[in-house]
A and B are shown apart, each in its own frame.
Chain A
Amino acid sequence: MSNRTCAFSWLIAASIAAASAAADAPDFNREVRPILSRYCFKCHGPDDKSRKGKLRLDVRESATKEAKSGAIAIVPGKTDESELCVRIFSTDKDDAMPPPETKQELTAEQKDILKRWIATGADYQPHWAFAAPRKGALDSVDAFIDARLAKAGLQRSPEADRATLIRRVSYDLIGLPPTPEEVVAFETDHAPDAYKRLVDRLIASPQYGERWARKWLDLARYADTNGYEKDRERPIWPYRDWVVRALNADMPFDQFTIEQIAGDMLPNATLDQKIATGFHRNTMLNEEGGIDPLEFRFHAMTDRVATTGATWLGLTTGCAQCHTHKYDPITHREYYGMMAFLDNADELDLDLPPADAAQQQRDREARAQKLIAELPAKWPVEKGSVDEAFHAWMEKESARTVAWTALKPAAMKTNLPLLTIQPDLSILGSGDITKSDTYELKFASLPAKITAIRLEALPDDSLPAHGPGLCYYEGPKGDFFMGEFQVSADGQAVKFASTTESYANNNFGKKKDTPVSAEAATDGDPQTGWSCADRPGEAHEAVFIPQQPISAAQLDVKMIFGRHYACPLGRFRISVTTDPRGAEAREMTDAIEALLAVPEAQLTDAQRGKMREHFLLTAPELDAAAKEIRALRQPSKVQTTLVMRERPSENPRATFLRNRGEYLQPIDRIDPAALSILNPLPDGPRNRLAFARWLVAQENPLAARVIVNRAWAAFFGKGIVRTTEDFGYQGASPTHPELLDWLAVEFMEKGWSQKKLHRLIVTSATYRQASKVTPAMLAKDAENSLLARFPRARLEAEMIRDGTLRAAGLLSLKMGGAPVRPSQPDGVSEVAYGSPKWNASGGEDRYRRSLYTFVKRTAPFALYNTFDAPTGESCIPRRDVSNTPLQALSLLNDVVFVEAAQALGKALAAAPGDDDAKLKAAFRNVLGRAARADELPPLREFVKAQRARFGGSGAPPLGENKSGGAPLPPLLDPKVFAGGDAETAAWTALARALFNLDEAITKS
């Protein structure tokens, strides 16, 4: 197993350096700063709040000045006069540094480095990662590697054999092994450009995007569920597919970045550019009952800052959430300055209508028209003539129709959401919402003798699920709950005689036990009220009748919203009538209502037709037939995806510096600002788009280095900087600093092309060398830091499953779309809240590439989890690579491998040729290479022995399946035995063994 951190890597680098560096002066960046940073900066570093003795050691001018004590920490060239030197060697517990209570101690070697550094002048150098990368004299990957190897007296290994090479480069570029045919073709292709053509083919393959999307999704903390308790499914796979498309198209990495951070803000942003902003929508969403939504939004924001830091800057920005970074030059204030760029966005579900949406809509309407024309014929005979009924309806409804006057608020106030008046005098809510929202509206210039007040809850495309509410989590999207509707006239509370609503429904509890109504919103108890669950995207209304007609100069309306989740109204309108008959709530569109007010004789034929249609569609007598028509006219359910949208300028979100990083302790309002240690932000608007461009500006010393380093790590197992997520003072020093810089500059010069970068690396001789370990290598460079050989590495979880399925001939290469659920044993997903069942996908979806497996955060897919795949809860720049007994159990017994063994076993049994021919074929299938002579005998023996056992009179009894739950498919199908097919049984057993070889799950 290997570790995610490499505490010793700088020591290794240092000792390598020591062998060649003759001078006494230690290298500041490589040797000195790591010690100062780790042991001293916490109290004598950038954070002025925790600084002790007014001593700062990260800046030379301060370190060489008199400190509070009067002593000088560093007197260059004079170790005896340097307090630092005195203190680190002191044995007095009051004087010793680091202080004994920190429980940290310097080693003798570390003390010696510091002493030599001071003795030789205490030279400070800027941190390598904060200076722009530059190209030096050398100009190829191999030149750098070879130069370094030569210094250590080592040499690059010879080129790997062809079978090893094609398997290696195939897994690396497309995440899949080559087919046996591809291996043989490459082995026999003696043209000088054979390898180059192979690389070209792989890089052009659609599977390339899938392989590299998986790496990117680790950083994006992609998952198909929201996380936390409820962990409900979320629609964000269109973002995943966008990543695959962008990588396959080799979108330049700077553009790839800008679209994901701020695609919505690009001029004339395309649908794809909006989908790309899903990157930062992959944060978790807490839907547990009763949470404070803004608190968890803040947690999502801290995740965004930390993820952006790790992904693009290789900085542990998250460390500055609570206080100024203890080691790196990032202040507490700068942390929130960075957050402010990302903070000013609304988070919405973007509709993704299918390409033929308009046509579908026309087809549905045509069908609806046809059905409407047939409606009169369906009128029940016993109810008399349809025309008479229509006439009666018109009379009745006309008599109930009153003239409503929509009121325009003179003033509006809320605790937080922004209310804006629309042209139709409806009021639209937007911005942040809480569990207890209050809207207060003032109306003046009122008609006298108001007999009824109408509140319309209206749909709007800007609202979750089209409204009418603003609820976006825990409750149904677009839900609202109005606990109180209070009216006062000239300061006097208005009492209501009656209240009606067109529709009311509660999302929670049994309907009969937990009634909701508009009337309940007038009872003084905010825990009871009006809600319209289950019919999002529709208009509803409530009508309140005052005990006495109201004549007042001013009307105040106060609405209180919310329950254990935030759910105010998103769009509403308040109207009044002075009709002495009063009014009742009813389901009626404005258009029909207006027509009902027109005397029948004055109606045009078209108007009459409209009313007749409305009548037919709402008549209880035709309800069954009308249902289908209503459904056809509903907006069709479209796929959505999670995106960002910049806030409108009238409602910017304020970002606050938080004391100790606590949500409940906002201190100062902070404006967007870039990290001062890096390239300055150009003049212009300071927004998310400017921030995105700043991240990938040519002048940014970090981004290109971080990207090429992560690419390097993907191929060689470790980065040139081991700590791929930390290029700060605490991070590891690069093993090949000049190579890192050369790659970074080359990457930018070649237009930030990831495909070109990958081609550059895999076509190097360094990449193509053999992986065999020799004693000389071990003696000189056991960790293979210098790459005298290619490092063998266990395959990633997804590659193991995909590779096995491909070897067995089962893999489906269908791309994109909603996530799928391959089989896994019962009891894996059930441990999550609500014990959700895992309903395995059937058909082709069972064998899709692992990229498409449904990612449930609180109950990760067991097989991937066992092989160190992340859970999507946080940004993972480096996966662990473990080696455990549970992995052995998975390979031996997991349903994926059982099915693969069965498929391959069946194919082998049916294949022509003798045992050796089949064994060779099996070997090729699973490992790519030809079997060596010494490998055939044990295989031969195994097949022979199993065939004898299965075929003999004493065939072993079928093992009882003790797994319980969903039965594993038996490895050896009883029917096979019934047919006496010892061949299939024996070859299935052999295939299973091959899938368990170390080499089968290793890139060598």
Chain B
Amino acid sequence: MSPFIPQPTPIARRHFLHDCGIGLGKIAFAGLLTDAFAASNPFAVKQPHFTPKAKRVIHMFMAGAPSHLDLFDYKPALAKLEGKPLPPSVIGGQRYAFIRPDAAVMGPQFKFAKHGQCGAEIAEVLPHLAEVVDDICFVRSVKTDQFNHAPAQIFFNTGFSQPGRPSLGSWALYGLGAETQDLPAFVVMSTGNGLSGGAALWSSGFLPTVFTGTLFRGKGDPILNVSSPAGVDAKLQRDTLDLVSTLNRQQLAAVGDPEISTRLANYEMAYRLQTSAPDLMDLKSESQATLDLYGCKPDEPSFARACLLARRMIERGVRFVNIYNEGWDAHTALVGNHTTNCKKTDQASAALVLDLKQRGLLDDTLVIWGGEFGRTPMVETNPALGRSMGRDHHPQAFTMWMAGGGIKGGLTCGATDEMGFHIVENPVHVHDVQATILHCLGFDHERLTYHYAGRDFRLTDVHGHVVKDILV
């Protein structure tokens, strides 16, 4: 069959019923559960189109959009042009969110220096990243179609600017299945002030709802309702599940609906989640050295803790982890904003790469870091909004970095013009990033499709090229 449709077919379930019959008495219950579950489990492990380099993904999404010009893409020419507007020929017909197209240029706000053997040039506010530049690949030529936060975030995650399509993580689960049944296979953590794109960022869209990302909360139950209510001890919980299971099995025998078997299996998984989730969250087993590497306080929700948890998740078989850090939207006082956000994220982002490498996990884990667009070379100043020394949204060019999972380390791909405005070398559209992520996971992005509303949908719509230059 040519279109890739890995959904569990009704045929498979029919087999189960056919083979097992309805006479349940003869079959051991444990075996029944396993069979039923295998037949109808949408998370059953599936083979992608070719041997993947990456088995899992950790995506650090810098929501609000960091400035490529002040962190990764050094443009001394901007300092020289400071105070003058850019020529209209550069601006073209670009629409802006806040500034007027004739706003003056603002020079780089931080000092830059070269690091590592590869000589990657990055800003002084990223001292930890400077230590791992030889393991990562900077892509300085990413561009997007959207210049507002919510549409651009949704576009990056789903390939479409409006809510309603499946997210990257959902596609990954749909295509690959899950390697653990004890934790959700697609986890989302958010460490900022709430996200512009909202729940659409990890939605399964028109894919079956089971492929939706599961939000891990910073405080309280990591997974909603994973704790039993007060007053319910382990014994009562076990007794309850046993009673439920007994009666459900009797019902299965009476009516023969295989959906009941799936439900039985799900109650056992829920019970395991009640143990595995707290176990995941308990950082006592981590050494002080590891905690220090990330800069993580075990009981304090933070970006650093989310990164460490992400490593623990992928060790336990989680397929796709999103870590959102909201707050990069520096329309005013960029220096303060980016200093704060770098303090929050730099150490842990670098630590994650180092830690994965030390544990031999980096080779088959794809790590991604970046925002939804870049920021303008022009300054944002507006007395009626009380703003100065900021930058507006810039869709034409921005920088991301990736590491592990089939990506070459110590590489810088693509380049922008001397104002950091347009891409002049190796343009990488968001659809290309998506195609490349799927490629690392073993998929031809043109063949990973889902038939809905009359046509075969893809993450990359009708676009996207794998960025071969950055692959190992």
Contact = CB atoms under 8 A, between A and B. Distances in A.
Given A229-B149, A778-B14, A858-B199, A564 B219 contact: no
A290 to B, nearest CB: 2
Contact of A889 (B164, B231, B273): B273
A509 B385 contact: yes
Interface stretch (A363-371, A382-390, A393-401, A822-830): A822-830
A103 B229 CA distance: 52
Interface in A840-889: 857-860, 862, 865-866, 868, 871, 873-874, 880, 882-889
B225 A516 contact: no
Contact of B386 (A102, A510, A949): A510
A116 interface: no
B22 interface: yes
A998 interface: yes
Contact of A885 (B18, B198, B221, B270): B270
Contact of A7 (B5, B8, B184): B5
B340 interface: no
Contacts of A882: 208-210
Contacts, number: 350
A506 interface: yes
Nearest to B267: A888
A938 B8 CA distance: 35
B251 interface: yes
Given A527-B384, A993-B244, A888 B270 contact: yes
A268 interface: no
B259 to A, nearest CB: 6
B150 interface: yes
B118 interface: no
Given A1-B208, A104-B2, A958-B230, A887 B266 contact: yes
Contacts of A726: 453-454
Nearest to B218: A827
Contacts of B219: 826-827, 964-965
Contacts of B7: 3, 7
A326 interface: yes
Interface of B: 1-3, 5, 7-11, 13-14, 17-18, 21-22, 40, 42, 95-98, 100, 147-151, 161-164, 184, 190, 193-200, 203, 206, 208-210, 212, 214-215, 217-221, 223-233, 235-237, 239-240, 243-244, 246-248, 250-251, 254-257, 259-260, 262-264, 266-267, 269-270, 273-274, 278, 382-386, 392-393, 444, 446-447, 450-455
Contacts of B220: 825-827, 962-965
A766 B447 CA distance: 41
Contacts of B382: 527
Contact of A958 (B184, B208, B231): B231
A228 to B, nearest CB: 4
A289 B259 contact: no
Given A792-B257, A873-B164, A892-B270, A884 B210 contact: yes
Interface in A730-745: 730-731
Contact of A8 (B9, B18, B21, B232): B9
Interface of A: 1, 3-5, 7-8, 102-105, 107, 227-229, 231, 284, 286, 288-292, 299, 303, 310, 316, 318-319, 326-328, 481, 506, 508-510, 513-516, 525-529, 531, 563-564, 723, 725-726, 728, 730-731, 771-775, 778-779, 782-783, 792, 794, 825-828, 830-836, 857-860, 862, 865-866, 868, 871, 873-874, 880, 882-890, 892-894, 898, 932, 934-935, 938-939, 942, 945-946, 949, 956-965, 967-974, 985, 989, 992-993, 996-999, 1002, 1004
A889 B232 CA distance: 13
Nearest to A829: B194
Given A871-B199, A997-B247, A886 B214 contact: yes
A635 to B, nearest CB: 29
B229 A962 contact: no
B146 to A, nearest CB: 10
A278 to B, nearest CB: 20
B423 to A, nearest CB: 19
25 contacts: A1-B262, A3-B208, A4-B206, A8-B11, A291-B97, A514-B385, A730-B454, A773-B256, A826-B217, A826-B219, A827-B217, A827-B219, A827-B220, A828-B224, A833-B195, A835-B194, A873-B164, A889-B274, A890-B225, A893-B227, A934-B250, A958-B230, A996-B244, A996-B267, A998-B251
Nearest to A513: B386
Contacts of A104: 2-3
Contacts of A506: 384
Nearest to A511: B386
Contacts of A968: 227, 229-230
A541 B217 CA distance: 51
A773 B227 contact: no
B198 A971 contact: no
Contact of A963 (B227, B264, B455): B227
Contacts of B21: 775
Nearest to A512: B386
Contacts of A942: 239, 243
Nearest to A728: B454
Nearest to A510: B386
Contact of A938 (B18, B98, B247, B446): B247
A514 B384 contact: yes
B384 A938 contact: no
Contact of B243 (A289, A303, A319, A939): A939
A958 B233 CA distance: 7
B255 A773 contact: yes
B247 A563 contact: no
Contacts of B151: 228, 286
Nearest to B234: A959
Contacts of B5: 7
Nearest to B164: A874
B198 A857 contact: yes
Nearest to A950: B236
A773 B198 contact: no
Contacts of A1: 8, 40, 42, 208, 210, 262
Nearest to B264: A998
A868 B385 CA distance: 42
Nearest to B220: A964
B196 A514 contact: no
B199 A229 contact: no
Given A826-B217, A885-B269, A959-B228, 19 more contacts: A229-B148, A288-B148, A514-B384, A526-B100, A773-B256, A858-B198, A862-B224, A880-B209, A883-B40, A885-B266, A888-B269, A938-B247, A942-B239, A956-B233, A962-B221, A967-B230, A970-B231, A971-B232, A972-B230
Contact of A832 (B184, B198, B383): B198
Contacts of B248: 997-998
A8 B8 CA distance: 12
A939 B256 CA distance: 22
Contacts of A290: 96-98, 147-148, 392-393
Give 5 nearest A-B pairs by CB, closest first. Answer: A290-B97, A858-B198, A964-B220, A972-B231, A970-B230
A836 B260 CA distance: 38
B62 to A, nearest CB: 16
B194 A772 contact: no
B102 to A, nearest CB: 11
Given A291-B148, A827-B220, A831-B215, A883 B255 contact: no
Nearest to A969: B229
A158 B237 CA distance: 39
A77 B112 CA distance: 75
B98 A103 contact: no
A884 B243 contact: no
Chain A CB count within 10 A is highest, among B21, B149, B221, B451, for B221
Nearest to B96: A290
Contacts of B3: 103-104
A836 B194 contact: yes
A831 B226 contact: no
A940 to B, nearest CB: 11
